Structures are given as C-alpha cells and as structure tokens.
Copies of this chain bind each other. A is one copy, B any other.
C-alpha cells in the first residue's frame, strides 16, 4: 500500500449526537508539547481538572476525575466498581443507552431488573418507587439525556427516592453534562459518568466520573476485586490523589483538552451555558416545526442539545443525510436501535449551540427536504428561528 496522504479532512459542521465540533481553543491546546505524566506541572493540571470538574458537576465529591477512555468505558467503570457478582440493580430503559446499561450490568455479574417505558417517553417517580419497593436493589441506573430519543429524564428528585431504599443512584450524563443542569450533590446522585465530545466541546477520549461518599464506601467495602483492572477506581483514585501511585500513563493531550474545555465552561458560567443551550434549541425547534418536522420526544421532555425529529413519511433517511454531508458539510445523526430510519438527531452541543449552526442546518435541511419532494414554505425555517430569537 502506498503511504496515505497528509491529513486533510473536509470542513464539517458536526450537528449529530456527538462528537460535536471542538472549540478552537481546545484544538490549539491539543497541539501543545507533552509534559510527562508524573511531571509536577502535569500533576497540578490534574488537580485543576478535578477541581473544575467538581464545579461543573456541582459537587464536592472527592472521587471526581476523567478516566482514560471514552464515555462507554465510563458506563462500564461505574457498573463494575459499584456492583459485585449477585448484587441487584434496577436499570431504567427508555432507549438505546438504557439497553447498554442492562448489557454491561449483566457482564458485571449483577442480578438485573429491567424497567421499560416506550422510547421517547420518560419515567415517573411512582413507577420507579414501585420497583424499588419490590426489588430493593443496591443500585438504580438511569439515563439523564437519552441520546437515542432526545428525551430528557427528570432526575432532580430521584436521589431522595433511591436513598429511602438504601439504593445508590447511578446516572448516565453523557449527553447532558455541559448542556443542561447536572447537580450531583443537590440531586443526590451517587455515581455519574459522562463524556468529553458533547457538552464539553472536546474530542472524544475521556469519561468524567464522580462518586458520592456513599458510593465510595460501597466500593471500599467490596469483597471481590473489581473485574476490570484498567477501570478499578480503588487504584485509579490513587493515581489522581496525593499518593500519585502509578497505574497507567494518562492521556496527556486529552487532559490538556478537557482542562481547556472546562475552563471555557467556567468562564461562560453554568447558568449562562444552560440558558444558551435553551435559547438556540427554541430557535431550532421553531424552525424545524415551521418546516413540518415533529419531535419524537414528548413535549416538555425534549432535550435542548439533542433534537430528535421524526423523518417525514416518504423521505429517505440516508439520501437526506448524505446530501447534508456532501453538499453542505453538515453531519446530523440517524436513528439508533428501534428508531433506526425513523428519526434524525440534530445536536446543538457545547461550542455548537449557536445561531450560526441553527441557521445553517435549517437552511440546508430546507433544500434537502425540497429535493426529497416535501412541501416546505421557502424560508419558513429560518424565519421562525429568527422570530424565536427576537422573542427571547
């Protein structure tokens, strides 16, 4: 094989379910020469990263750090650390990532009870209370922002409920962190995992984790070793704390990236960031609705950062997405699992939650829908978005 040519990707606007576009300041940070993974300057950056991560997760949890792998490894890390073989877990399934939790809990040897609601809807507390009463599990896990459906699960009262049953609350915040409120301590979340490539505006590669003192106690009381050595928090934490016990070589450049991403979040301020995501969501939604597109998640439970809309009857999913990508350089997501071919998922996450992205995707989608034979009033999408902006 001849040696492949110089890296030269086409310009893209990443408006799918993630990765989202990386903030230019983060890209610049990633071109910075390395420090050693035990260099005092790097250790200071690790501390800063943890401290910023705590602020962004609104927690004082000591065990808060990004593990050296992507969000799905974060899911596994939480499961294999909290669960020992035979431990009971209730997994709330409202979409694709709920089913992933079931699969991974099973591999951790847990006795899994699965609680389902139709995709696109969310759980109510009474339903969960009933199951907790019956099962009394060690852990209840739930997805905060279900990436496959665009549904926003309310979880602010869930920790209190779980703790009535001495149950640890495990939350998937992969698509919520940095976009909508995630308040660990106030909401009583015991364990959380997220990612870097969505609300934090960094490339994929790390998974921020945080464990409450209660969760840490459960981990420390384990009778068996964590089955994954790489994800064993009893060891990883001693690399991140004052012990600096060598475990593995931290992905230096990715730590540079998340550090810069977190600085950007805190410079903007959490409240302002959440408000920004809402504002651009409302404009996008007004535009999509004006073009005849309906959301797949129930009204009142639609994620601002991930807009899942039903593909109009007779329109071919792939044709539209290919045209968006090839003619306009815009990536949006298709459906996953049950929603394959049924929905498009349009992300406005982190750096990409801005008017320029809203305008581009509405205008380009208008042309694609017209090409597909849909009746769309020309300019209706952008006009509705601008009305929403004016009303904001």
* A292 at interface, CB cutoff 8 A: no
Copies of this polypeptide in the complex? 2
Given contacts A31-B30, A35-B12, A70-B248, contact A107 B256 (CB under 8 A): no
When C-beta atoms are compared, the residue in chain B nearest to A257 turns out to be B253
When C-beta atoms are compared, the residue in chain B nearest to A41 turns out to be B9
Query: In the complex, are the beta carbons of A1 and B55 less than 8 A apart?
Result: yes
- Scoring A residues 243 to 279 as 1 if CB is less than 8 Å from chain B, else 0, what string do you get? 0001111111110110110010011000000000000
* A325 at interface, CB cutoff 8 A: yes
Complex: A307 Cα to B333 Cα, angstroms: 50
Query: In the complex, are the beta carbons of B229 and A72 less than 8 A apart?
Result: yes
Q: Which of A1, A9, A246 has the most CB of B within 10 A?
A: A9
When C-beta atoms are compared, the residue in chain B nearest to A195 turns out to be B249
When C-beta atoms are compared, the residue in chain B nearest to A229 turns out to be B104
When C-beta atoms are compared, the residue in chain B nearest to A36 turns out to be B331
Mark the stretch among A15-23, A131-139, A214-222 that contacts chain B.
A15-23
Contacts of A45 in B (CB 8 A): 4, 7
Within A256-311, the residues touching B (CB, 8 Å) are 256-257, 259-260, 263, 266-267
Contacts of A104 in B (CB 8 A): 229
Query: In the complex, are the beta carbons of A253 and B205 less than 8 A apart?
Result: yes
Given contacts A70-B248, A248-B70, A331-B36, contact A30 B253 (CB under 8 A): yes
* A125 at interface, CB cutoff 8 A: no
* A73 at interface, CB cutoff 8 A: yes
**Distance from A48 Cβ to chain B, minimum over Cβ atoms (Å):** 4
Given contacts A31-B27, A249-B71, A252-B19, contact A41 B4 (CB under 8 A): no
Contacts of A16 in B (CB 8 A): 36
**Distance from A167 Cβ to chain B, minimum over Cβ atoms (Å):** 23
- What's the tally of chain A residues with a CB closer than 8 Å to chain B? 75
Query: In the complex, are the beta carbons of A251 and B27 less than 8 A apart?
Result: no
* A126 at interface, CB cutoff 8 A: no
Contacts of A42 in B (CB 8 A): 9
Contacts of A22 in B (CB 8 A): 33-34, 253
Given contacts A31-B27, A71-B248, contact A7 B259 (CB under 8 A): yes
Q: Which of A52, A203, A267 has the most CB of B within 10 A?
A: A203
When C-beta atoms are compared, the residue in chain B nearest to A9 turns out to be B35
Query: In the complex, are the beta carbons of A52 and B4 less than 8 A apart?
Result: yes
Complex: A104 Cα to B225 Cα, angstroms: 11
Complex: A226 Cα to B76 Cα, angstroms: 13
Complex: A125 Cα to B195 Cα, angstroms: 46
Query: In the complex, are the beta carbons of A27 and B37 less than 8 A apart?
Result: no
- Which of B68, B76, B260 is A229 in contact with, Cβ under 8 Å? B76
- Scoring A residues 182 to 211 as 1 if CB is less than 8 Å from chain B, else 0, what string do you get? 000000000000010100000111000000
Contacts of A248 in B (CB 8 A): 70-73
**Distance from A92 Cβ to chain B, minimum over Cβ atoms (Å):** 19
Complex: A34 Cα to B11 Cα, angstroms: 9
**Distance from A2 Cβ to chain B, minimum over Cβ atoms (Å):** 9
Query: In the complex, are the beta carbons of B251 and A336 less than 8 A apart?
Result: no
Complex: A260 Cα to B7 Cα, angstroms: 8
Given A18-B249, A19-B37, A68-B69, 6 additional A-B pairs, CB 8 A: A7-B32, A31-B31, A68-B204, A72-B230, A253-B257, A254-B254
The 7 lowest CB-CB distance pairs between A and B, nearest first, are A205-B251, A72-B248, A203-B253, A69-B69, A31-B31, A4-B48, A204-B249
A-B contact pairs, 15 of them (CB 8 A): A1-B55, A3-B52, A7-B260, A9-B42, A10-B35, A12-B36, A69-B69, A69-B230, A72-B248, A72-B249, A76-B228, A100-B229, A107-B225, A197-B252, A253-B253
